Amino acid sequence: MSVQSGTFNSPQHGVSSPRVLQWLGLLVMLYLLLVSVSMIGSGFKWAVGEQAKELFAFASNPVAGLMIGIVGTALIQSSSTVTAIIVGLVAGGLPVGTAIPMVMGANIGTTVTNTLVSLGHARCKEEFRRAFSCATVHDFFNLLAVFIFLPLEMMTGLLAKLSGWLVSPLLQTNDLSMKSFNFIKPLTQPAVNSVKSLFEVFPTSWGGVALVIFGIVTVIASITVMGKLMKTLMVGKARTVLNNAIGRGPLHGITSGMLVTILVQSSSTTTSLVVPLVGSNVLSVRQVYPFTLGANIGTCITALLAATAVVGGNAAFALQIALVHLLFNCISILFIFGIPVLRELPLKCADTLGGYAAKSKWAVVAYLSMIFVVLPGLVLFISSLF
């Protein structure tokens, strides 16, 4: 009887023990994220020093900043990672105004994953047309949002002013650590100081450069592992939210897309989930459109978490750029999705491009090359001449 009891109970231990380890691993990765963002800020201050103005001069061109965000995110394939890195750079002294176009660019760069997923339907023209249209509707929405709000930001400073107003109580003291986030610095600073001491062997500012690079690598690694752990732990809940999301109206779709992205910690994963469903004609592009927009909001949680790691002089500015990301996505959805003419534009563009892609795969190559290689490269080259 005791043997049977032991045999019956052992699977429970086998199931629960790995799950506990996964939750512990998630906490460790969150800690590493906070530490790495602090490292980027510290390293940036150390490396730049008095040369800050010269360094910022290159990225101060808003279009160049936008392209940096697009290329960086297309390479890393995670807007969450890029915005967390930007938070760290702002903590190190990068002006918020310079960082805003980079954040906008991150929204565009992350959407290349959807296009790659749609290639799985390339054997059947009609399936590929639907899948590619689904993959690019998110692209066209983000491109339209940047097309509208980047010039508006350049003319009025709308996002900078709104986010500045939200953090104005903190800007008066310029420190987040005095209140609810007081526990962050004692937890992260010893680790940051220990790593920083390892790079003090480098001459002049090269130690700061090495610390920034190490911080960026750690951000990428921690968010990648966090995403995998979140998918393992939350896949059931994410699937339930996804199943309940479609066909219940735009507001429900946007909310569900946001929740799924928070659960799996990846907007690329969220939007890629629905591409095969549209390709196989289970859902339409119009049905999943609001769901993909919710992913834009859900992905902002990482930057907000990263901002809590910043203490000292630029803490409020780090929170401000994280709020810029959130405000940009929320206002874009309210404005574009709220106006029928603008709401239809991404759908029409995606449908047209899907038709061309179904006729010739070179249309896919041309599209990807133009958006993620030719245009960014050309703009960065031209901006370097002035």
pLDDT tens digits for range 292-317: 999 899 888 888 888 877 766 678 88
Residues 6 or more apart whose CB falls under 8 angstroms from that of 63 comprise 101, 150, 379, 383
- Tell me which residue range forms the domain holding 323: 34-384
Range name among 34-43, 175-184, 244-253 with the lowest pLDDT average = 175-184
pLDDT band at 327 (very low <50, low <70, confident <90, very high): very high
Range name among 55-59, 161-165, 291-295, 370-374 with the lowest pLDDT average = 55-59
Task: Inform me whether the pLDDT recorded for 146 exceeds 60.
Answer: yes
Q: Could you tell me if residue 8 is inside a domain?
A: no
Q: Could you tell me if residue 22 is inside a domain?
A: no
Task: Inform me whether the pLDDT recorded for 37 exceeds 70.
Answer: no
**Alpha helix stretches (DSSP H) within the chain:** 2-48, 52-59, 62-76, 79-91, 96-109, 112-118, 125-156, 158-166, 168-173, 184-198, 206-245, 250-264, 267-279, 285-298, 301-307, 315-332, 338, 340-359, 362-369, 375-384
pLDDT of residue 47: 67
Q: Could you tell me if residue 175 is inside a domain?
A: yes
Average pLDDT, the chain: 78
Q: Could you tell me if residue 17 is inside a domain?
A: no
Q: Could you tell me if residue 10 is inside a domain?
A: no
pLDDT of residue 181: 44
pLDDT band at 141 (very low <50, low <70, confident <90, very high): very high
pLDDT > 90 in the chain, percent: 20
For the stretch 197-248, pLDDT in tens is 777 777 666 777 788 788 778 877 776 777 677 667 655 565 666 666 666 7
Q: Could you tell me if residue 18 is inside a domain?
A: no
Q: Could you tell me if residue 77 is inside a domain?
A: yes
For the stretch 48-79, pLDDT in tens is 555 544 555 556 678 888 888 887 777 766 77
| Total number of domains in the chain | 1
Contact present, 128 and 357 (Cβ < 8 Å): yes
pLDDT of residue 45: 67
Q: Could you tell me if residue 78 is inside a domain?
A: yes
Question: Is pLDDT larger for residue 65 or for residue 377?
Answer: 65
Task: Inform me whether the pLDDT recorded for 14 exceeds 50.
Answer: no
d(CA 74, CA 68) in angstroms, rounded, equals 10
pLDDT of residue 9: 46
> Per-residue pLDDT averaged across 17-25, rounded?
78
